[in-house]
Structure 1
């Protein structure tokens, strides 16, 4: 049988629907690969072998009877342990939630399964999903498939590592400050942060979330191919009554001008020379494909967006967050929250209200800019992938890392979709660039990403 990892998700699903491939063979081969590769990575921390095979056999039987099979028929996917999947613990990487067993699927997962996708495993994240590093006391540490000394990213680090290693075609991730885009960048794959409301997500096991997550947290796909991101987004998206922010917006819109704003140093960031070189390569790839790429003299504020994002997310109920981190005894979560403790104490009700006014002004400015430049090309990070657990080295290091992550932290508070595109792997170190589009225009984001993928190349399976 053809190695499933050698096929795109669309090719694989088409062959399963036509009976050229059996879902049980595809899933069986994927599970065999997980058994061989995952012990060395610890990307998947909750197995789904038996139920995956049952679902595959049921899908094959339905197809044999002439029944309907969705656009993701037989496609192996992974789900982050932050999300409800019936019968599994929604741990969010914590011992505190090790027994929090979901009784129903999160709505994005209902949608994926409704299209025939099959969950082959659940992926790791840092405790509470706070960090750009993926380790916790419950599930252990996830390694980067390219170099164990580098972070696989976070918080969807298990998803990034699993995708790079071919442990599924499409991985579910979540992103409130870069948690899809950074693992994609660090693991050398592609990752899409959708517009808030595009992909429905709600955990019946845990209830409603705080202000920051309601405004900025999204679920979305990671994959090795841009078209797999598109198919994953189509499978996840849609209106769901249990997500009050889900919106039945169309997945495609009218053609936009192919005009790109290149921001090489957003917010005064000074990226690593390799990142700058890859941005220039990306600009030339787009120009060669007929896109206009310019470096505008005046660009909207981005550094302030980071400050607003931090305050809306980490300062809200900061004492509760810190108490939970201490109860979990997780050094990474404690270090981050203690770093911002004094800042959080300085935000009272009036200051919190002002944050929403500042956010509104920033969103307005960016929407106006994107009306003129419907695609922005910028770094994902100012640095190459961090060393494993580098944030445990002290406050000065935490400050440096958060400065480097400016291009990804700013996007969520602006309510924009963005995609991280792998630009290649050199000496075991991945790199990439980021594209940002107007709200609800993931289609335009992915159009540009496919142009870059054609120039940079499709990432191969690691290991």
Structure 2
């Protein structure tokens, strides 16, 4: 391969290290050099771990020289989001008042990545409390979209997506409560998978209490990468067991084979809201690639999306009001509290009876999708019904926040359902990436990634277009 090492996929880098074509130190040095040249313009990596990463790479080279067996990511440079415990590092979650919160042990996902041989080169930016589709906070500052400075890089894993698409690491860790893996991947032209609830263990020992119930049910950890094959590899590593998360399930990574043609439901107006023309074109592009590969794509809307979106808002904001709003009001900036006001205004804060009934009604919504997916195992849908937002657009007032929640209804509905969904780019429109998501049955991430791979093969690796603009 004659391209710079930082442009290689994680699969290629790991193979080259195992075959001794390059060293772990060379792979890490390439990523760190890219960090030094690219990060100042975007502020994606907020904690530079160069010294530690190089020392780890040298030890990893010693393992290769010894002939010992190595993990599937041995020597591959990665990043970790700054809301997840990494031993010896602070876990501020974008809050100046939490900058002193130090992790005494690795979160499950960090431990699994390290055991696989991955080398952490830095920690990535997140909004305050990881609660926005924009990545800005008073502790670390604003992260820019690498394609267009006037657009959001997404949130809350905006630093992760920006870093990986620019080549600062081959795999970026993120998490997804309301689209925080898929939306940054969409805005930055990367690929990702929002895994099923229970696929990847989650736990932060630095937290002072347990997570609110709906965050336990709706938030997941996962990878963002430039290529679908890297997402698949990272998912396997991240999904290893950890007893600290009782939600984790020992589900197989591949399910029973589905005989072709696999039927795909194409949803063009989720919750009755029409997609922007560029998003509609992205769906059409993805559908054409799937059809050429033998999938049977039909224009049909899945059930109850508007109800699911409303349930996500009402349940999550009720949880927030009870368990986290006081901390947000006390420690958060005026900006995050303005956004929180908008979320609250667009939601119904439930009393105990309402909360219990809404939580019980989640089963009806899950059942409807489960039955629907017996006929349509995959759903092709927008990540967002509009192109990536203008930077900090959620600060335009309560009514704009309400509109944005409507425009993202398909994005966060999947969190309430706990289903897997892959996001993959389909091209660039007006200078910014555009893409789609593919939703599958529970624990069938393999089906989602298979379809995403078909689309990526037809479209190409979008990050390469970004690199070409630099030359």
Question: Under TM normalisation by the shorter chain, which class is it?
Answer: over 0.9
CA 1:408 to 1:345, structure 2 compared with 1: closer, same or farther past 3 Å? closer
2: distance between equivalents of 1:393 and 1:456? 35
Q: Does 1:26 align with 2:27?
A: yes
2: distance between equivalents of 1:346 and 1:276? 34
Quote the offset at 1:208 in angstroms. 2.0
Q: Please, which moves more after superposition, 8-17 or 177-186? A: 8-17
Measured against aligned partners, the alpha-carbon deviations of 1:399-452 in whole angstroms (never above 9, x if no partner) come to 111111011110011010001111112332110011000000000100000000
Q: Report what 2:7 is aligned to.
A: 6
- What SS does the corresponding residue of 2:231 show, helix, strand or coil? helix
Q: Report what 1:231 is aligned to.
A: 233
Of 283, 288, 309 in structure 2, the residue corresponding to residue 284 of structure 1 is 288
Q: Please, which moves more after superposition, 339-348 or 236-245? A: 339-348
Quote the offset at 1:5 in angstroms. 2.8
The answer to whether the 8 Å contact 1:192/1:221 transfers is yes
**1:274-313 matched pairs, under 5 angstroms:** 274-296=278-300, 299-313=302-316
- What SS does the corresponding residue of 1:347 show, helix, strand or coil? coil
Q: Does 1:143 align with 2:144?
A: yes
Measured against aligned partners, the alpha-carbon deviations of 1:111-158 in whole angstroms (never above 9, x if no partner) come to 111111111110001000110000001010000000111000000010
1: distance between equivalents of 2:148 and 2:211? 35
Q: Report what 2:265 is aligned to.
A: 261
**1:38-437 matched pairs, under 5 angstroms:** 38-206=39-207, 207-257=209-259, 258-296=262-300, 299-318=302-321, 320-341=323-344, 346-437=349-440
The answer to whether the 8 Å contact 2:199/2:443 transfers is yes
- What SS does the corresponding residue of 2:463 show, helix, strand or coil? coil
Quote the offset at 1:325 in angstroms. 2.3
2: distance between equivalents of 1:301 and 1:346? 21
2: distance between equivalents of 1:42 and 1:316? 31
CA 1:332 to 1:371, structure 2 compared with 1: closer, same or farther past 3 Å? farther
The answer to whether the 8 Å contact 2:317/2:344 transfers is no
2: distance between equivalents of 1:358 and 1:40? 46
2: distance between equivalents of 1:345 and 1:452? 38
The answer to whether the 8 Å contact 2:265/2:302 transfers is no
The answer to whether the 8 Å contact 1:282/1:452 transfers is yes
The answer to whether the 8 Å contact 1:89/1:99 transfers is yes
- What SS does the corresponding residue of 2:330 show, helix, strand or coil? helix
- What SS does the corresponding residue of 1:308 show, helix, strand or coil? helix
2: distance between equivalents of 1:342 and 1:272? 25
The answer to whether the 8 Å contact 1:226/1:449 transfers is yes
2: distance between equivalents of 1:35 and 1:141? 18
User: Unmatched 5+ residue regions in structure 1?
Assistant: none
The answer to whether the 8 Å contact 1:211/1:312 transfers is no
The answer to whether the 8 Å contact 1:125/1:135 transfers is yes
The answer to whether the 8 Å contact 2:80/2:160 transfers is yes
Measured against aligned partners, the alpha-carbon deviations of 1:302-337 in whole angstroms (never above 9, x if no partner) come to 111111111222211415533322322423321232
1: distance between equivalents of 2:322 and 2:154? 26
Quote the offset at 1:349 in angstroms. 0.7
Measured against aligned partners, the alpha-carbon deviations of 1:235-280 in whole angstroms (never above 9, x if no partner) come to 1112211111111111111112421111111111111101101111
2: distance between equivalents of 1:41 and 1:310? 31
2: distance between equivalents of 1:293 and 1:379? 15
The answer to whether the 8 Å contact 2:343/2:401 transfers is no
Matched positions, count? 462
2: distance between equivalents of 1:220 and 1:346? 29
Q: Please, which moves more after superposition, 440-449 or 51-60? A: 51-60
The answer to whether the 8 Å contact 1:175/1:219 transfers is yes
TM-score computed with the length of structure 2 as normaliser: 0.95
The answer to whether the 8 Å contact 1:256/1:444 transfers is no
TM-score computed with the length of structure 1 as normaliser: 0.97
Give RMSD over aligned pairs. Answer: 1.4
